[in-house]
Amino acid sequence: MTTFLHILWFKNLMFWKVPSQRDTGTIIRNVGSFVVFGSFAVGAFYFSHFLTAFLLEEVKIGLFLFHRFIGMLLFVFFVTINLGNMVVSFSTLYRTPEVQFLLTTPVSYLNIFVIKFLDNFFYSSGTLFMVGFSVLLGYGFYFDLPWHFYPVMMFGVLVPFMFLAACIAVIVLLLVMKLAARVNFRILIAAVVVAYIGQVYLYFTVTSPVHLVREVMKYYPNVDLYFGSLDPAGVRYLPNFWVSEIMYFYVAGNTSAVLGYAVMLAASTVGAFLIALSIAAGSYYDTWITSLSIKSLTMKALTLKDRFFSFGRSSSLSAPVEVLLKKELWQFVREPMQWIHFVVMMGLLVIFLSSVSTLNIRLESAYLKAVVYLVIFIFNIFLINSLALRFAFPMISLEGNAYWSLRSSPVPAEQVYRIKFLLVMTILGVLSMVIALLSNVPYLFIHHIVGEKPWLVERVVPSSQVRVLAYCSIIITPIVTMTLVSLNFAFGSIYANYSEKNPIRIASSQGATMTFLLSVVYLVYLLGVYYFAATMLFTAEIRKLPVDWTVLQIVMGAIIVPSVIITGVVHTLGIRSLRRDLT
């Protein structure tokens, strides 16, 4: 324990050390980070307050549905933290030089495991705590909840909830690494990917949000009542359900129910942590040894294509462009953390798109239609932003310490910047178009269910107003994608860290967090502006009015002009950063 506290103390010292660099650029960046983080906290508070008021007072979905939606969001949040922790834990527990160093000292394997696990958890969760607390404040202020709601929710619910996700992640990782000694690692990774995609699919199939809304709305206006009988049995054992129940019963004033669920959550978290410790005590070192044998994991199928993308093979591209592209390709496919994460994200994307493209939208209110449409739209954009943050932001940093080879070569920094940006932009641009087209399928070919029998489907030609909205979304999606990819890529250049090899740690660094927050500000602006177009077009559809082209032009202009300006500004800053002294 003394050794553990000793290491923790020095880690704490390192964390609070003021950076030695005090040049103007660093000071501006730090002040900028502080302003962005602070503004985002305030923004998250108002957004949460506004959204709660809007859904309960304008859309009138009722307390029960509102908290069930919170539960669904928490499920996504839980899976995200869980997956993120698993991938980052692989790197921190098995790949860091610090672990190698600690293994040469008399520190016990369990202590090393706990130190790195906590390091990992707090490193990747700091911003989420801040955002979570701001959202809780907005929610609590709306319901005028007592002061004790905030510390109880923060430390008794949110932190254990996130810690539980991290514990489960590390348990799965330890088991996978343990099995890797006997089973092919690639098969294990494939099994984990399939299991995660399967559980997300299963959750949304079982909870069926559309069915839930229909059932609850039958009781309108008494939608604040508790409709617990509609909850599928299996869902009741999930931690996201417990948290949403705690929030519901806090608002309803049912203290015993709050306590009951809070105890379940705390007990599960402690239990999961103890299980992780017991597995680690017996096998962390063995799994670390196993990790050495799977160090150079490469897909066998890719070796066949080695010849096609070989550096020795001629191509019609100019020599610098060709070698830069080939280098990017091989760095990506030979780094398991890159392609595994990409495959997982693509799997989740396929599930989302297959659900959205067959969505049955049969709502009477223009507001509700606009809200549903914008939720899908913003989710698409959010997805693109997540891909940009994860894959575009680290691109410059991943040059790593070998960046000297590019900087001392005759290839101009601008060209390197342009090639890398165009590469990531092309891939994410194509993906964004697929997302935009598929998610607008219901608005281009609406499916109506006739009668009570779901297999009797009638294809109805959508109204011209709705089609206009779908086309507008398809037009602005590539522009918004360009802005988001530019923002993430350029800030990845501004906050480049050449000494960090792990792309996931780069994508969750302070600079990445700030970029994410700036992207969210842009997304909120986008949502606010696009709301006018969506409500105008759905109102026009219901009232059979012509499309107001002036409103539409203003909205499109208000999206396109700032997007282009942001793109230009961030690229100028990004290229300038690339010319900095390479220390």
**Residues near another protein (CB under 8 A):** 22-23, 295-296, 311-312, 314, 318-320, 322-324, 326-327, 330-331, 334-335, 400-402, 404-412, 501, 579, 581-582
CB nearer to another protein: give 264 or 573. Answer: 573
CB 427 within 8 A of CB 390: no
**Environment class of 537 (CB within 10 Å of its CB; exposed 0-12, middle 13-18, buried 19+):** buried
For 317-353, b/e burial (b = at least 16 CB within 10 A) is: eeebebebbbebebebbebbbbbbbbebbebbbeebb
Residue 578: CB minimum distance to another protein, A:
12
Residue 579: CB minimum distance to another protein, A:
8
CB nearer to another protein: give 57 or 581. Answer: 581
CB nearer to another protein: give 372 or 416. Answer: 416
CB nearer to another protein: give 41 or 297. Answer: 297
Residue 401: CB minimum distance to another protein, A:
3
Asked whether the CA dihedral 440, 444, 449, 455 is positive or negative, the reply is negative
CB nearer to another protein: give 224 or 335. Answer: 335
Beta carbons within 10 angstroms of residue 368's beta carbon? 17
Residue 291: CB minimum distance to another protein, A:
14
CB nearer to another protein: give 233 or 292. Answer: 292
CA atoms of 392 and 489, how far apart (whole Å)? 5
User: What's the Rg (C-alpha) of the chain?
Assistant: 25
CB nearer to another protein: give 410 or 546. Answer: 410
DSSP state of 145: -
CA atoms of 457 and 396, how far apart (whole Å)? 50
Q: At residue 395, what are phi and psi to the nearest 5 degrees? A: -60, -40
What six digits make up the tokens of 188?
């294990």
Residue 506: CB minimum distance to another protein, A:
15
Residue 245: CB minimum distance to another protein, A:
47
What six digits make up the tokens of 365?
């209110």
CB nearer to another protein: give 195 or 319. Answer: 319
Residue 24: CB minimum distance to another protein, A:
10
CA atoms of 393 and 118, how far apart (whole Å)? 25
Residue 93: CB minimum distance to another protein, A:
19
E strand residue ranges, 409-469: 446-449, 457-460
CB nearer to another protein: give 409 or 553. Answer: 409
Residue 309: CB minimum distance to another protein, A:
10
Tell me the C-alpha to C-alpha distance, in Å, between residue 483 and each of 419, 472, 474: 17, 17, 15
Q: Position 31: which residue type?
A: V
Q: Give one DSSP letter per residue of 389-419, joined into a string.
A: IIIITHHHHTTGGGHHHHHTSSS-HHHHHHH
